[in-house]
Structure 1
Amino acid sequence: MAFFKRELGPIERFEVALKDKLAARQKLAERLSVAESELAEKRAAAERLAVAGADNSRLDRAEASMRAVEDRAKTLRAELVEFDDQVASAERALADAKAQRDRDAIADQIEAMAAAIERAAPGFEAGAAALVEAVTKSSLSIPEATRFSTSVDAVRSEVRAAADLICWELRSAAVRTRAGNANLASPVPSLSEQPSSAETERQLMYTLHPLRWYEDGKVRKVPAFTLVGLPKALLPVALQHQHVDHLNARRVQTLMHLHGSAGNGEPQDDDPQLVDLDALLAEETQSAQADVA
């Protein structure tokens, strides 16, 4: 009957290598200890002979014996230093392997999250479609129901695009995590963490330029190439001047792949590309009033 040994994993191999290095170092250290003890004895013997006035031949033999042991001890010390370097290298390799194992575990969880979202998305799509059909297939035409159906259909499109985006971002994060390039300890604030007003109606949009506007008495600033819940009052002018676009827009999908959706920090007030949406809206309003007049 044949017996097969289980193949060791990376961490186990590094642990075995480190254990072997430590064992070899211990043996070398013991040999060095013996050599140093012998050297001390040889020195003491040579000193006694010299003090006692021994003849030159005996002193020569004592010194030669002492130098031989001294050379052996010196060689062992050098080997021990080399072993210390090898042990340190093995410890680093083991630490790196454990870190990679931890990164792989986190990346697996991230990929599992993306897969779970992909599995759940069709259910949401089907539920939203059923709500829309409940209104559109009816022979009655009720304004409130029509508005509801339109809103649900718009949300369905946004969720579909957002699901595609987050799955792509999660898988990108998993790749970076495996490579050790992710910084999960300080994630970018999510949309839910962005300041918002309960009374303000918003729509999730993707910014094409850095934007600024006033909200609840405070200045809001967001960078280009980021997701933002934009107040609907500012949405028409922002869309008209192509400062934002919908998540399902083709160019947005391309820009998300190029730049992601977290932006690059809050824009500075002196940024020449910073767009003041309030000022832009005021200009549009004045222009419209002038046309009417």
Structure 2
Amino acid sequence: MGFFKRELSPVEHFESALKARQAERQKLADRLSLTDALLAEKRGAAEKLAVAGAANAKLERAEAAMRAVEERAKTQRAALAECDEQVASTERALADAAAQRDRNLAADGIEALAGAIEQALPKFEAGAGALVGAVTTSAASMVEATRFSTSVEAVRREILAAADLICWELRSAAVRTRAGNANVALSAVLEPEQPQSAEIERQLIYTLNPLLWREAGEVRRVPAFALVGLPKGLLPAALRHQHVDHLNARRVQTLMHVHGSGRSDGEISPDDPHLVDLDALAADETDRAEANVA
């Protein structure tokens, strides 16, 4: 029983072709070098005969021999130039094949990441469900436990929605990477968000307008159509005025498919007329509520 030969990859195929063409070029160059040396010899001989005043017949034979070698050198030089073009073309093809191989490896890694997230989701869902079940199936009832159960369920839904979206984005990025037209959206998927103040309680939310708020003495500005960790104290006002929405909202899923997750640390001009000051918005709502109570 014969052995099956492994099929060469595109990179291996072009590497082999390049080596063959380079070897062929070397042979042509060696032949041309010998022909040039012979041509120099024929020219020298013809020159000596002419200087010595040799008979016309000898001169004609010397010139004919010289022209024959010149034609051979011309033909070999043309063949060498053509071979040089083939070598250059093969080098470009090899570079393209290597780039495609690297893109495929990167795309495989992105797809593997999406697969790993999807495989981890059932464990997360089971764990969150167990926490909720521990409260809902208990005979005892406490407000704190019920509030905890509700929060866990909300987080569970939010994370499942976010995981679905990020897996979709990762697979879209893998397709673009494999095709060689990956854009900034890929970097937005793969680059981690800037670290935020750990002491501030936040919720992952999707922006519908450019926003700003103050945090630890600094002004934070985020673009529209971006995933951000918004301080929970600003969340109610932002939701009521529809400047943000939850990740599992249907319109957010559509917007993320259109715009991607975006980058929450993009440069936003302070003079942007669409920029919404969430601190001012929340303060205004607080003032209105106090006025109504009074």
> When the two structures are superposed, what TM-score results if normalisation uses the length of structure 1?
0.91
**Alpha carbons 2:206, 2:247 under 8 Å: kept:** yes
Instruction: Tell whether 2:73 aligns with 1:37.
Output: no
AA in 1 matched with 2:217: G
What's the CA shift for 1:178?
1.2
What's the CA shift for 1:54?
1.8
Worse-matched range after superposition: 206-215 or 135-144: 135-144
AA in 2 matched with 1:77: R
SS at match of 1:187: helix
**Alpha carbons 1:191, 1:229 under 8 Å: kept:** no
What's the CA shift for 1:255?
0.8
**1:155 corresponding residue in structure 2:** 155
**Alpha carbons 2:189, 2:261 under 8 Å: kept:** no
Instruction: Tell whether 2:264 aligns with 1:267.
Output: no
Instruction: Tell whether 2:185 aligns with 1:194.
Output: no
**2:67 corresponding residue in structure 1:** 67
What's the CA shift for 1:165?
1.6
CA offset digits 1:231-254 (Å, max 9, x no partner): 011101111111111010011111
**2:51 corresponding residue in structure 1:** 51
What's the CA shift for 1:188?
3.6
**1:214 corresponding residue in structure 2:** 214
5+ residue gaps in structure 2?
Answer: none
**1:18 corresponding residue in structure 2:** 18
CA offset digits 1:84-142 (Å, max 9, x no partner): 11111112212222222222122212212211211110111111111111111222221
Give the Cα separation in 1 of the matches to 2:75 and 2:248: 71
C-alpha distance 190-211 of structure 1, shift in aligned 2 (>3 A): farther
SS at match of 2:187: coil
C-alpha distance 246-24 of structure 1, shift in aligned 2 (>3 A): same
**Alpha carbons 2:170, 2:189 under 8 Å: kept:** no
SS at match of 1:233: coil
**Alpha carbons 2:213, 2:279 under 8 Å: kept:** yes
Give the Cα separation in 2 of the matches to 1:249 and 1:128: 20
What's the CA shift for 1:40?
0.5
C-alpha distance 42-192 of structure 1, shift in aligned 2 (>3 A): closer
Instruction: Tell whether 2:180 aligns with 1:145.
Output: no
Instruction: Tell whether 2:235 aligns with 1:235.
Output: yes
What's the CA shift for 1:194?
2.2
**Alpha carbons 1:213, 1:220 under 8 Å: kept:** yes
AA in 2 matched with 1:291: N
**1:115 corresponding residue in structure 2:** 115
Give the Cα separation in 1 of the matches to 2:213 and 2:66: 86
Give the Cα separation in 1 of the matches to 2:14 and 2:117: 37
What's the CA shift for 1:275?
1.4
**2:84 corresponding residue in structure 1:** 84
Give the Cα separation in 2 of the matches to 1:3 and 1:172: 40
Give the Cα separation in 1 of the matches to 2:43 and 2:73: 13
C-alpha distance 3-234 of structure 1, shift in aligned 2 (>3 A): closer
**1:93 corresponding residue in structure 2:** 93
Give the Cα separation in 2 of the matches to 1:191 and 1:94: 30
**1:291 corresponding residue in structure 2:** 292
**Alpha carbons 1:32, 1:76 under 8 Å: kept:** yes
SS at match of 1:205: strand
Give the Cα separation in 2 of the matches to 1:5 and 1:157: 51
Give the Cα separation in 1 of the matches to 2:191 and 2:89: 44
AA in 2 matched with 1:133: G
CA offset digits 1:248-273 (Å, max 9, x no partner): 00111111111110248322222222
Give the Cα separation in 1 of the matches to 2:112 and 2:150: 33
Aligned length: 292
CA offset digits 1:35-59 (Å, max 9, x no partner): 1011100111111112112233322
**Alpha carbons 1:191, 1:228 under 8 Å: kept:** no
**Alpha carbons 2:45, 2:62 under 8 Å: kept:** yes
SS at match of 2:229: strand
> What value does the CA root-mean-square deviation take over the aligned residues?
2.2
Worse-matched range after superposition: 265-274 or 201-210: 265-274
What's the CA shift for 1:25?
1.2
> When the two structures are superposed, what TM-score results if normalisation uses the length of structure 2?
0.91
SS at match of 1:230: strand
